[in-house]
Structure 1
Amino acid sequence: MALLFDTHVQKMKYNVLREVARLAYQDALTPQQLLEIPKRIIPEGKPSFRCCIYKERAIIGERVGIALGGQADGNVVEVLSIACDECPVDGIQVTAACRGCLAHRCMDNCPKGAITVVNHRAQIDKGKCVECGKCMSVCPYSAIVQNIRPCVRACKPKAISIHQETSKAMIHHEACTACGACVYQCPFGAIMDKSDITQVIRLLLDSQDNTAYRVYAVAAPSMAGQYPSAAPEKVAAGIHALGFHAVVEAAWGADMTAWLEAQELREKGFLLSSCCPAFVSYVEKNFPALQDRISHTLSPMAQIAKWLKQTDPGCKVVFIGPCIAKKAEAKYTRSVQYVDYAITFEEMQAMFAAREIDLASIPGEPLDNASYFGRIFARSGGLAAAVAEALKEQHVDPAEFELKPAVCNGIEACRVALLKAQKGLLDANFIEGMACEGGCIGGPACLSHSSKNAAQVDAYGRSALEETISQAIHVLGLGAVSREDPR
């Protein structure tokens, strides 16, 4: 089956993860074997994306290090300094389109006197320029432009800046939400998420075919949009073939989360969703006054992992999804007691390749426990729809309590809603916060980002055997589920 990646950066990342996974499965992660990976990926010949093959190999070597876990600095995203050197850093600059016109609006509107006209062309004194952009807005020829690095533009929480001396990107961990937008948007792949792929493979190998302990894979519902030619049931079978004891739907946990958040919303009257870890982190770091409004309910990943740990004491749980922030949630939040590791669809595909698993030819395995509402958590608006359904199933009279959701599609929409909520101007009582545009199907570690993904997730939802949230929870053998207080 042909691989579908959005960019060549993703394919290069996949190549590295595949080689590392192959060695991990062979229990051959020796220094000598790891040093051979750059040579296998970048053979002798002409360079394809850097000045020479030796620099390309050096960058691959850095990628191998991050595939092995990277630096232990409290974040799951890391800049590859050796790869971060190709972006322009001029900021606002005058282009050849400048006609040296008589109006001189750029010069007259500059509050710092940073613009002069020399030889019929505007020039900017970088020592005076404060990047306010007024000159750009008044130029009749649009001859003044601003170069913003893709990583800086992608980082809505403003956690990335450029080092003044080295001109390399720097991530400010105190502001970073681990959303992964910079990872996906960097054209040179100079920012990468740290991987636990070797630890997951070691976990599988040490389980001795799940006899020493059982290893469960919790698969995100957004997997429905990852492989156009392979149904979710085939993906589940492929994950099982990697050595997992069983594949469990994260959507099952979403059913529990929706049920609990509906109860909590009714009790408190106003609530912020807790499903997206990047959104939760964004609130905590930028809107601390609203932090106590975040739902105490565990995320779907942690909710189903908690149930697995209670049902099968001693088991191990690995989450697989499109989200880089889930890695941070699994490492640095209360979810650490339930989730052993979180990996992405990119890492999952690398493991498939390392084990030579062909999804097109493998028989499918049923995934039939979650409801339609749990499965549509993967796209924007799905959580709000699930909470509405849960309130309905809990027989809440709309005259007594009416759900008024603010569905926030992307971190910018979240910021606007949170600002309004902070000032008491938001006409809503429930904020569905999704850091990625489109929801989880827009996650940075999806294999591809297709306009069809939302429709595929909805179709996956409609195929569910459980018609209601309460039916899905009943399958778990739970008369009721409980949330955790405090956060």
Structure 2
Amino acid sequence: MRNFETDVQMIKYKVLRAVAEHALNEKMDDVYYSVPLEVIPGKKPTMRCCVYKERAIISERVHNVLGGERGSNVIQVIDIACDECPVDRYTVSNACRGCLAHRCMKACPKGAITKGKDGKAEIDPDKCIHCGRCAKACPYGAITENVRPCERACKIGAIKMNDQQKAEINYDKCINCGACVSQCPFGAVVDNSYIVDAINLIKQADHRGYYTVAIVAPAIASQFQNASLGQVKQALRNLGFHDVVEAALGADMVAKKETQELVEKGFLTSSCCPAFVRYIKQHMPEMAEHISHNLSPMAELGKYIKENSAWPIKTVFIGPCTAKKYEQKLDSVKPWIDCVITFEELQALLDAAGFPPEEQSNQPMTDASYFGRVFGRSGGLTEAVVQSAKEQNVDFVPKAAVCSGIEQCKVALLKAKMGRLAENFIEGMACEGGCINGAGVISHSPKDKMTLDQFAKTSEKESINMSVGSYETKF
């Protein structure tokens, strides 16, 4: 069994793997009934009040593994699993001394705080408006704020508690970054999976006469601790993909085009992170005109492959990002990318098929330059744009605001909006640290950036121009 950072990841893996096994063996008729029994086989509960509730939640997870509600929304809440977090936002702890001052009562604008029989403060949850003034006023710090992990993780206020005390997503605000997914301790917030779609694309390729290509994001270099990216490539080939290409090649292509656009316009925000792009469009639409018109590396490479192929191609992007699943649904991207799965889903799929990467032979990966590969972490896009400007001998100096996380993105965008940003380029990454910390990664390690950089340095392509210019389509 694989090792995981949390039991939530373990359960997610078990469900993904079980569904994948059913799909690979073409036994999908009873998947809603059989998978819960396979994942929760005994009669004793391991996490919830009873085994029946555990299986009911697993059944809902199966639904999400099969694509969930097939709309544009990628992130969804399993209501039945969302029932363990504190209901009351502010509560009075044992630190309350029942003091004479009762500043908390005076501070409350709604009269929600009263003195109990023992003189200690009591909060009426029906009157409380969650303003927090009582907590600030208490000299003992006895009033505590209970913020749900999903709410704390969401930096744009897109997830709140509804009238049924369940988490609810405001899709007009949601940017599909998946921060709530990775932080929910009970796994109640999930990203829809398209792992079965990927399996079907592979299985139907020969029958329907098309070629399958896996496009793998550079952040994968930090994910499989006991296997190289070359071994992952071989595992994907064994799975049935006709070819495996580094998405970093698409990053090289985008770096070159984005540099040209930056020189032309004088100011630009990057287009590589779909959650960052959606944040601008949803929350700061007046800055949308400054978003680079170039496709992301994923879409750019998918477009290149399909346009330069002698026969039909189906592409599957494999990366660390839940927002890529949303991006794939866009009209500008859908023709070039047919399916998106995460690294978590890839691990479950390869294990289900019996091709663990660490047991495979090593295949060369030589598609991209160092600069394309470091797109997988914060600051990498900036390095690539600066390098591309040098290679193109342009009379323009890119000055980038490197934004790690949506909060830094917001600050930079506000400064630019007010004309106070000193830089002429905003590199926006919704996930802190960049793609290596995406919601769909297998592990989060302080060493991930170093591992990615080490992998990037093994590239045989010394420049972006060499990467883009020397590439000959293999399709």
Do both proteins adopt the same fold according to a TM-score greater than 0.5, normalized to the shorter chain? Answer: yes
8 A contact 1:346–1:446 mirrored in 2 = yes
Q: Matches of 1:239 and 1:438 in 2, distance apart?
A: 27
Match of 1:238 in 2: 235
Displacement of 1:418 in angstroms is 1.1
Q: Which residue in 2 is equivalent to 1:469?
A: 464
Query: Paired residue for 1:147?
Result: 146
CA distance in 2, matches of 1:73, 1:79: 14
Say whether 1:358 aligns with 2:353. no
Q: 2:286 maps to which residue?
A: 289
Q: For the Cα contact (< 8 Å) 1:369–1:475, is it kept in 2?
A: no
Q: Which digits, 9 at most, give the CA deviation of each residue in 1:132-151, with x for residues without a partner?
A: 21221232222111111111
Distance 1:317 1:141 in 2: 59
> Stretches of 4+ moved more than 6 A in 1?
none
Given that 1:410 and 1:439 are in contact with CA atoms closer than 8 Å, whether structure 2 keeps it comes out as yes
* 2:251 match: 254
Kept in 1, the 8 Å contact 2:159–2:168? The answer is yes
Counterpart of 1:205 in 2: which secondary structure?
A: helix
Query: Per-residue deviation at 1:253?
Result: 0.2
CA shift, 1:154, in A, is: 1.2
CA contact (8 A) 2:212 2:243 kept: yes
Residue 390 of structure 2: aligned partner: 392
* Conserved 8 A contact 1:319-1:343: yes
Cα distance in 2 between the residues matched to 1:20 and 1:121: 53
Cα deviation for residue 169 of structure 1 reads: 1.2
Give the Å deviation of 1:114: 2.8
For the residues of structure 1 that align with 2:401 and 2:135, how far apart are their CA atoms? Answer: 35
More divergent stretch after superposition (376-385 vs 190-199): 190-199
Q: How does 1:338-353 map to 2 (within 5 A)?
A: 338-353=336-351
- Give the C-alpha shift of residue 254 in structure 1: 0.2
Give me the whole-angstrom Cα distance separating, in 2, the residues matched to 1:116 and 1:65.
46
Aligned residue for 1:482?
none
- Taking the aligned partners of 2:385 and 2:331, their CA distance within structure 1 comes to 24
2:198 counterpart of 1:200: yes
Aligned mates of 1:297, 1:33 — CA distance in 2: 41
Q: Secondary structure of the equivalent of 2:157?
A: coil
Take 1:323 and 1:409, find their aligned partners in 2: how far apart are those partners? 15
Deviates more, 1:366-375 or 1:132-141: 132-141
Deviations 1:51-84 (Å, cap 9, x if unpaired)? Answer: 1111101111111111111112320111111111
> In the alignment, which residue of structure 1 is the partner of 2:158?
159
Quote the residue 1:481 is aligned against. none
On the 8 A contact 2:209/2:312 being kept in 1, the answer is no
**Partner residue of 1:39 out of 37, 43, 57:** 37
Cα deviation, residue 33, structure 1: 4.2
User: Residue 333 and residue 325 in structure 1: after superposition, are their counterparts in 2 closer, same or farther (change >3 A)?
Assistant: farther
Residue in 1 that maps onto 2:307: 310
| Number of the residue aligned with 1:438 | 433
Following superposition, the deviation at residue 330 of structure 1 comes to: 0.5
Is this contact kept in 1: 2:389–2:397, CA < 8 A? no
- The Cα of 1:333 is off from its aligned counterpart by 4.2
Deviation at 1:108, TM superposition (A): 2.8
Distance 1:459 1:127, change over 3 A: same
Amino acid at match of 1:67: V
1:234 and 1:362 in contact (8 A); partners too = yes
**1: CA distance between counterparts of 2:386 and 2:79?**
47
Alpha-carbon distance in 2 for matches of 1:257, 1:212: 30
1:79-478 correspondence to structure 2 within 5 Å: 79-118=77-116, 119-164=118-163, 166-208=164-206, 212-312=209-309, 313-397=311-395, 401-477=396-472
Deviation at 1:402, TM superposition (A): 2.1
Q: Distance in 2 between matches of 1:117 and 1:139?
A: 14
Q: Output the amino acid matched with 1:282.
A: Y
In structure 1, what residue type is equivalent to 2:279?
Answer: Y
Aligned length: 471
Aligned CA RMSD, in angstroms, stands at 1.5
Residue 318 of structure 1: SS of its match in structure 2? strand
TM-score, normalised with respect to structure 1: 0.94
Counterpart position of 1:18 = 17
Distance 1:33 1:129 in 2: 45
Looking at structure 2, the residues matched to 395 and 5 of structure 1 have their Cα atoms a distance apart, in angstroms, of 47
Code of the aligned partner of 1:128:
K
Give the Cα–Cα distance (whole angstroms) in 2 for the partners of residues 216 and 394 of structure 1: 31
Partners of 1:154 and 1:44 in 2: CA distance: 34
Letter in 1 for 2:439: P
CA contact (8 A) 1:182 1:191 kept: yes
Give the residue type in structure 2 aligned to 1:171: I
Are 2:22 and 2:28, in contact at CA under 8 Å, matched by a contact in 1? yes
Q: Comparing 124-133 with 269-278, which one deviates more in the overlay?
A: 124-133
Residues 89, 148 of structure 1: 8 Å contact kept: no
Q: 1:299 to 1:33 in 2, by over 3 A?
A: closer
Aligned equivalents of 2:322 and 2:232: distance in 1? 20
Q: Which runs of 5+ in 1 are unaligned?
A: 479-487
Q: What is the distance in 1 between the residues matched to 2:84 and 2:125? A: 20
Percent identity over paired residues: 50
